Amino acid sequence: MTELVADRIRAALASLPRAERRVAHELLGAYPVAGLETVARLASRAQVSGPTVIRLVNRLGFDGYPEFQGALLQEIEERTTSPLLQFDRLSAARDDAVTRTQATLTSTVETSLRELDRESFGLALDLITDPKRRVVTAGGRFSSLSAHVLALHLQIVRPGVSFLPADTWVPYLMDARRGDVVVLFDMRRYQRSTVDFGRMCAQRGLSIVLVTDPWMSPLAFDATAILQVSVESASPFDSQVPTLALVEAMVTGAVERLGDETVARLKDYDELWERQGFSAVPVREQP
């Protein structure tokens, strides 16, 4: 996945001189808009000199402020890309649909899992496997599908897990408890309602695990743990396959951490379904 300017800033933050660190905090606090201001305006916001801003930009690997702003503008363009804008680019491809899809998804899943921030992943597992915490999942118009899949699996391996359709967000917030974990899925063209819900959760002291794309949802600054995956697809529409691969990894990690508790719940789960007649119909032998 493409390295973001924000990633460069975070990586350099601890080693920056005090004045440059103030600029970095201003950039991250209103990312990416703050970086599109003039040098003078950004310097004024950070209460530093113009040359300090330029030194930071150079330290981040840019030849100058215009190149730095160009990288931010490219990020914004990629974040807001619609299926319509991608159609012309993809329609020029020569390979057949199956070949393109195989190549693209194989690459995006491998890249997403290889480059996953393992520290954030570990923190996310700490939160969703903590028996003292309730866990809820939610997402946008399409990403809610992945949120629902995660909830369905976690409900089997631990108690206190729910998937929240959009029409239940307000009732949930009214009864939310500090310590709750909210796993939110928000991909590019970031849904305003999802972002607003996440921010209200953060304001009420809830822990947010954010699953997002390489350009990051605006919720990133409110999240306790951020998990980024690719959304590249062979079609004009962003792929959910890498996101579902991440969900599989989260479920695998949760099962490993919960250990014997998972075994006991799986046994109970199977027995309860069996009592409801939810079992395979035997195949009738041919005469």
Q: Looking at residue 84, what is its pLDDT? A: 47
Which CATH number does the domain housing residue 16 bear? 1.10.10.10
Q: Are residues 168 and 221 in the same domain?
A: yes
Amino acid, single-letter form, for residue 170: V
User: Which of 160, 162, 158, 161 has its CA nearest to residue 262?
Assistant: 158
Q: Are residues 234 and 148 in the same domain?
A: yes
Q: Are residues 118 and 72 in the same domain?
A: no
CB 36, CB 69: distance < 8 Å:
yes
Q: Are residues 233 and 117 in the same domain?
A: yes
Q: Are residues 43 and 152 in the same domain?
A: no
Domain of 36, in residue numbers: 5-79
Q: Are residues 146 and 247 in the same domain?
A: yes
Q: Looking at residue 58, what is its pLDDT? A: 94
Q: Looking at residue 90, what is its pLDDT? A: 52
Spell out, as residue ranges, where the chain has pLDDT lower than 50.
84-85, 87
282 assigned to some structural domain: no
Q: Are residues 150 and 206 in the same domain?
A: yes
Q: Are residues 169 and 237 in the same domain?
A: yes
Q: Are residues 56 and 179 in the same domain?
A: no
Q: Looking at residue 85, what is its pLDDT? A: 47
Q: Looking at residue 189, what is its pLDDT? A: 76
Q: Looking at residue 32, what is its pLDDT? A: 83
Q: Looking at residue 1, what is its pLDDT? A: 56
Which CATH number does the domain housing residue 154 bear? 3.40.50.10490
Taking only the tens place, the pLDDT of each residue in 24-62 is 988 887 788 888 888 888 999 899 998 899 999 999 999
Q: Looking at residue 97, what is its pLDDT? A: 83
- From 33, 56, 79, give the residue that closes a domain: 79
89 assigned to some structural domain: no
Taking only the tens place, the pLDDT of each residue in 100-120 is 888 888 888 998 898 888 888
Q: Are residues 133 and 234 in the same domain?
A: yes
277: left (phi over 0), alpha (psi -120 to 50) or beta: left
Query: How many domains does the chain fold into?
Result: 2
Q: Looking at residue 79, what is its pLDDT? A: 67
The CA-based angle 247-186-93, given to 5 degrees, is 85
Q: Are residues 12 and 118 in the same domain?
A: no
Q: Are residues 123 and 217 in the same domain?
A: yes
User: Which of 158, 162, 153, 150 has its CA nearest to residue 131?
Assistant: 158
CB 219, CB 203: distance < 8 Å:
no
